[in-house]
Amino acid sequence: MTDPSVVPDDHSLDGLRQRLSRFAAARDWQPFHTPKNLAAALSVEAGELLEIFQWLTPDQAEAVMSDPDTAHRVRDEVADVLAYLLQFCTVTGVDPLAALAAKIDRNELRFPAPGRPDGPRKSDGLIG
């Protein structure tokens, strides 16, 4: 994170992390914000997002954001998932953007694009 004396834009990643920290601190929730509890809460919220789509056909799932009530539920669950993920990252010291960049780097090496010299070939049995 950046210098704590600098107040970032509340819509930036750091700004949102700081708002979440202040929100929890104002309610004395820090003792409950352990990595285990936050990981569990993150899983629950991801499940609530999945629940919206659980019995939808692919076409219905594609159209879910066209219904204002359902779109509102999706946005709320996305916000809950992101909030718990950011709080988890704060308490564990994980930089989520650096973690994502490193993971993409590793995946680019593990899964080269087809047709590239370093990509899978039909003879590898990896592609149809």
Residues in the chain, pLDDT under 70: 1-9, 117-128
Task: Return contacts of 58-65, CB within 8 angstroms, 24+ apart.
Answer: none
Q: What pLDDT, in 10s, does the model give residues 90-106?
A: 999 999 999 999 999 99
Q: What pLDDT, in 10s, does the model give residues 11-27?
A: 899 999 999 999 999 99
Position 41, amino acid = A
Position 123, amino acid = S
Distance of CA 37 to the CA centre of its chain: 16
Query: What is the per-residue pLDDT for 117?
Result: 67
Position 68, amino acid = P
Position 101, amino acid = A
Query: What is the per-residue pLDDT for 128?
Result: 43
- Structural contact between residues 46 and 54, judged by C-beta atoms closer than 8 angstroms: no
Query: What is the per-residue pLDDT for 119?
Result: 61
Read off the tokens for 88.
Answer: 């988890």
